[in-house]
Amino acid sequence: MDQPTPTPPASTRRGPTAGQGTDGAPLRSRTKAFALRVLRLYRALPRSSAAQIIGKQLLRSALSVGANYRAVCRAHSKADFAAKMGIVLEEADEIAAMAAAVRTARTARR
């Protein structure tokens, strides 16, 4: 009877999905789809200067999440992975903060 292939020790696995048999492609495609949705949102924003300023920052942050996650997938060590993932989380948190500010502003206008 064939024996299953043993999983390599954790110290030899790399990347955000170590041990899951993938190279981060699912999250990579999700971050790309997210950036494209934010791009469509930006194009639909009013042409006011305030909306454009917030929209451009949202767009920069959304693109940064995807680009920095790609860098996470190429991490060379656990420390490198943690540092790069920290950048991704900071950008995602910035997007959440801006979205909350926009929601608050829209609620206050009503």
Per-residue model confidence as pLDDT tens digits over 49-91: 888 888 899 999 999 999 999 999 999 999 999 999 999 999 9
**Residue 16: per-residue pLDDT:** 47
Q: Which of 56, 87, 60, 85 is nearest to 72 (CA)?
A: 85
pLDDT of 30 over the 70 cut: yes
User: Does the predicted model carry a pTM greater than 0.95?
Assistant: no
Q: Which of 16, 35, 21, 31 is nearest to 74 (CA)?
A: 16
Decide which of 1.20.1740.10, 3.40.190.170, 1.20.1440.60, 1.10.10.10 is the CATH code for 24-109: 1.20.1440.60
**Residue 107: per-residue pLDDT:** 74
Owner of token pair 């390599």: 8
